[in-house]
Amino acid sequence: MFVREMSREECQGVVAAGDLARLACCRGGQPYIVPITYAHSGKAFYFFSMPGQKIDWMRSNPKVSLQISEFASNRRWKSVVVTGTYRELPAQGCGNERLHAWSLLQKKANWWEPGGLKPVPQEISGASAHIFFCVEMDEMTGRAACAGEQ
Ligand SMILES: Cc1cc2nc3c(=O)[nH]c(=O)nc-3n(C[C@H](O)[C@H](O)[C@H](O)COP(=O)(O)OP(=O)(O)OC[C@H]3O[C@@H](n4cnc5c(N)ncnc54)[C@H](O)[C@@H]3O)c2cc1C
């Protein structure tokens, strides 16, 4: 097996084919990572969520990382790492981009359910708690493992 760098086009292929990212954020020196469904357009990754720890943390420190992979076997995989910046898409003042995020996400199967459900009942409030947010990509790198020798 050998590991090689992936081209930007190959990285974009993995991102375009995928639905699930690991989203890492950090507050007070403590990293936090969760799996999350994404949609992608140009330099923007779009997400849907309810309020909670990751949203609180990204509001206080908007620098985040994403990891997206294609895993065929221990010896054949592709992994893309994106660094970027969290930006919320509020219902007021962000109309078109929020709608764009929704229109891309709703093409994914079961896109809202994992982000819309919590293990404990949530307080019912007058305002919609649904959050759409974007990670604006700064950098993207990729590595691939292949069977055989280089
Ligand atoms: C396949 C898949 C797709 C998902 N898609 C989405 C999505 O599109 N949008 C979305 O918001 N969420 C999605 N989730 C759920 C996501 O991983 C988080 O569990 C969820 O967003 C709650 O995160 P939070 O920071 O708001 O946690 P909170 O509800 O605030 O809870 C924080 C506490 O719960 C623990 N915790 C939270 N999530 C997890 C977890 N996944 N595993 C173990 N411990 C956890 C934390 O360590 C912390 O102690 C998806 C999960 C999976 C497996």
Q: What is the spatial distance between Cα 147 and Cα 8, in angstroms, rounded to a whole number?
A: 21
Q: What is the spatial distance between Cα 114 and Cα 130, in angstroms, rounded to a whole number?
A: 13
Distance, CA 45 to ligand 1 centroid (Å)? Answer: 17
Is ligand 1 within 6 A of the CB of residue 78?
Answer: no
pLDDT-derived band at 124 (thresholds 50, 70, 90) equals: low
Q: Taken in order 95, 14, 141, 115, is the CA torsion positive or negative?
A: positive
| Identity of the residue numbered 17 | A
Contacts of the segment 55-58: beta carbons below 8 A, 24+ positions apart: 55/131, 55/133, 56/27, 57/25, 57/26, 57/27, 57/32, 58/25, 58/86, 58/133
Number of H helices, E strands in the chain: 4, 8
Res 10 pLDDT > 80: yes
Q: To test ligand 1's pocket by mutation, which of 19, 32, 34, 59 has the most ligand atoms within 8 angstroms of CB?
A: 34
pLDDT-derived band at 101 (thresholds 50, 70, 90) equals: very high
Q: Which residues pair with 82 in a beta bridge?
A: 66, 140
Q: Which atom of ligand 1 is nearest to the CA of 32?
A: 47
Pairing of strands 76-88, 30-37: unpaired
Q: Which atom of ligand 1 is nearest to the CA of 118?
A: 29
Is ligand 1 within 6 A of the CB of residue 131?
Answer: no
- List alpha helices for the chain, DSSP H: 8-17, 53-60, 95-105, 113-116
Enter the pTM of the model.
Answer: 0.93
| CA-nearest residue, atom 18 of ligand 1 | 34
Res 150 pLDDT > 80: no
Q: What is the CATH number of the domain that holds 105?
A: 2.30.110.10
Average per-residue pLDDT in the chain? 91
> 43 lies in which domain range?
2-117+126-146
| CA-nearest residue, atom 26 of ligand 1 | 52
Q: What is the spatial distance between Cα 97 and Cα 94, in angstroms, rounded to a whole number?
A: 6
pLDDT tens readout for residues 13-72: 999 999 999 999 999 999 999 999 999 999 999 999 999 999 999 999 999 999 999 999
Based on the structure, what is the number of domains in the chain?
Answer: 1
